[in-house]
Chains A and B, each alone.
Chain A
Amino acid sequence: MQIAVCVKQVPEITNVRVNPETGTLIREGVASILNPFCEYALDHAVRLKNGDPGIEVVAVSMGPPQAESALLRCLELGADRAVLVSDRQFAGADTWATALTLAAVLRKEVPGYDLVLAGKQAIDGDTAQVGPEIAEILGLPQVMYAVEMSFTPNRKRIRVKREVESGHEVLEARLPALVSASKGDAMRRMPSLADVLAARRKELRKITAADLDLSESELGLAGSYTQVVKVFPPEPKSGGRKLEGLDPAQAAHEIAAFLRAERYV
């Protein structure tokens, strides 16, 4: 069996700062990491592989050349091989163009996939759209927000425990299928030295748009249905009173007075 895991390299956004004058992101000094939800997806794939060493786990990413480091981490964490598709023509791709490109990569590089995994969303864009769009393009059923998964004994279905608004539910989907991972029991692990060394012997293949069965008009900005027309800083929120140096009783008194004045008690 083959499991493809679609991953994205993202900026560590908790550290992102915005230039107040230009409203643009200050990218200097911002580290790039493997999107945490993609890492959970990879962890699910590795757990499935632990139950069946015959499974091949392939990590796939679309991104700039430096996204190689995110794929290297996937190899360290247990992926068998990785594919990076990188091309200047991909610039400006919206979720549709990204999904179309990744679907083409999967068809070409992992044609025997039984399961496609993705993170539930990337922490920079937060759209949660690329996974379902890949599933629709490839004609796969999908299950979102997975926290646990296993194959059914006959290997025809994947059984997924997933987050829903009222708690959890267990769903089965026919294979091949796409499953997106939430946090759940999956872990972000530190690879061991042996893992790091093993990763260097694994294949990290780099391909470009020319390797894909897509026309130029389907790539990047040209192939995108949405376009960003303006970027601006969010309106600063103004706070009210900040009280410092009170003892706990005084602080409690101030809060109680506020709640009373606003008629919450």
Chain B
Amino acid sequence: MLKIIHNVCNLCGLCQKSCPFGAISAGAEKITVDERCTLCGACVSVCPQSALSIERRQASPEELARSVGVFVWAECEAKEGRLVPRRVVHELLTHGRRLADRLGQPLLAVVLGDGRLAGLERLCHQGADRVICCRHELLGRYSTDGFTTALSAVVAKEKPSVLLFGATPNGRDLAPRVAARLRLGLTADCTGLAIDDQGQLVQTRPAFGGNIMASIVTPYTRPQCATVRPNVFSAAEPDTRRPVAIQDFPVNLSKAAIRTRVVEELPAAEFGEKIEEARILVSAGRGCGEPSNLDLVRRLAHRLGGSLAGSRAIVELGWIPHTLQVGQSGTTVGPDLYVAVGISGAVQHIVGMSSSKKIVAINKDPDAPIFKIADIGVVGDAQAILPKLLDQLKSQ
């Protein structure tokens, strides 16, 4: 139940404007709530008087069993004038399908965007039984406020059992807002998701920079929310024979409810391919000596048809932009080939690239941890080896 403290309410009407379902009306003397209310909490967080609250009890097993379905937030990105689901969504749907089958429940994708949304049938081909689609002009570009309100509205109405987010920059921005609004448990950066005998989602994640793994459950709240980094699960081939079902979900959003605005966009100079999606990465570390040596690394990347990346150390030194940083505080990558040049392989770096299919390492220190995971590791000076390697590759 939405609780209204009428003598604290000053009838400002913000709650009415914030409600995605139009369930609140502000009369001359008091505000009223009708049956369209889903307890999504949008009004509670905007009320300047703190006159609104939602009482949430911890649920009984019977109540928990009423939450059904594995939901995936299908984050979209702009590509050639269209908004299309990004790759991590396909990875999540592939794994979500396994979880849904184990639970005997449907798998749904939730899409938020504007009229440019396209390619949504792919979500069903990738495993979703149904797509829930919120189209609104204010959802054309990501905003914390707009997306939190819309997604919370969907979740409060549909009551899923599991809700998954890609741990992209926007996913890490959105997931804790939605979880806090709906009073839900949330586990960040899961590397494993499974269903136990009680039907609970068991979420496994690295802690202490990857030194230890923890398995986590969410006993009392539904949906059980988790974020997963890109490249942790692999996407299956889409099956175009799967039926496509796309359902519109109308939401009310007002411009005034979005409290941030973009003033300027400043794309990085050295920004080709997203390293998250690169097939081949040549990655530089502090062992490269000085920034001028990056040229050799860059040339090797070009020769192999891949992209340049780097460790946190050289980002902090200002050699490359943060968009190219691999590791726990940067991007998790999973290319077919990862060449680590002068990277010792601190555990925070390893967790960000260990799902690479093949790893080549060059490092001066024979005890560097990178050698423990490299398919081929060469102990030596990258500055001396790279020019010879480029020659060798040229002479083919």
Q: Hey, which bits of chain A sit against chain B, CB under 8 A?
A: 11, 13-14, 16-18, 23-25, 94-96, 99, 120-121, 123-133, 135-137, 139, 141-145, 159, 161, 163-174, 177, 182-183, 224-234, 236-246, 248-249, 251-256, 258-260, 262, 264-265
Contacts and interface: CB of A to CB of B under 8 A. Distances in A.
B172 A14 contact: no
A242 B176 contact: no
B384 interface: yes
Contact of A243 (B207, B337, B376): B376
Among A13, A123, A260, the one with the most B-chain Cβ atoms within 10 Å of its Cβ is A13
Contact of A239 (B210, B372, B385): B372
B176 A237 contact: no
B172 A231 contact: no
A126 B172 CA distance: 11
Interface string B312-356: 000110000111000011000000110000000011101000100
A240 B46 contact: no
B366 A132 contact: no
Given A225-B184, A229-B215, A142 B366 contact: no
Contacts of B187: 226
Given A144-B169, A171-B263, A233 B212 contact: yes
Given A127-B188, A133-B179, A259-B304, A167 B271 contact: yes
Contacts of B266: 161, 167-170
15 contacts: A14-B346, A16-B208, A16-B211, A94-B185, A96-B179, A96-B186, A131-B176, A182-B322, A183-B322, A227-B219, A239-B377, A241-B377, A242-B374, A245-B379, A252-B391
Nearest to B172: A128
A136 B202 CA distance: 26
Contacts, number: 274
Interface in B159-198: 168-169, 172-173, 175-177, 179-181, 183-189
A254 B376 contact: yes
Interface string B208-252: 111111111111110000000000000000000000000000000
A228 B214 contact: yes
A136 B388 CA distance: 55
Contacts of A121: 329
- List of 8 A-B pairs having minimum Cβ-Cβ separation, nearest first: A225-B185, A167-B268, A252-B388, A136-B180, A141-B259, A132-B176, A127-B188, A248-B384
Contact of B216 (A133, A229, A253): A229
Contact of B260 (A130, A141, A161): A141
Interface of B: 45-47, 144-145, 148, 168-169, 172-173, 175-177, 179-181, 183-189, 202-203, 206-221, 259-268, 271, 274, 280, 303-304, 315-316, 321-323, 328-329, 336-337, 346-348, 350, 354, 358, 360, 362, 366, 371-381, 384-386, 388-389, 391-393, 396
A118 B377 CA distance: 40
A54 B207 CA distance: 40
Contact of B180 (A99, A125, A128, A244): A99
Contacts of A265: 303-304, 393, 396
B376 A225 contact: no
B276 to A, nearest CB: 8
A246 to B, nearest CB: 6
Given A96-B180, A225-B185, A226-B186, A234 B304 contact: no
Contacts of B347: 13-14
Contacts of B262: 169-171
Contacts of B374: 239-240, 242
B180 A139 contact: no
A133 B385 contact: no
B176 A243 contact: no
Contact of B328 (A126, A129, A163): A126
A133 B233 CA distance: 27
A79 to B, nearest CB: 24
A258 B180 contact: no
A114 to B, nearest CB: 14
A173 B373 CA distance: 44
A188 B325 CA distance: 20
Nearest to A141: B259
B186 to A, nearest CB: 6
A165 B189 CA distance: 18
B323 A239 contact: no
Among A94, A168, A237, A259, the one with the most B-chain Cβ atoms within 10 Å of its Cβ is A259
A124 B218 contact: no
B376 A128 contact: no
Contacts of A255: 360, 362, 376, 378, 385, 389
A243 B379 contact: yes
Contacts of A171: 260-263
Given A143-B260, A165-B169, A172-B263, A237 B373 contact: yes
Contacts of B221: 225
A229 B346 CA distance: 27
A226 B323 contact: no
B57 to A, nearest CB: 11
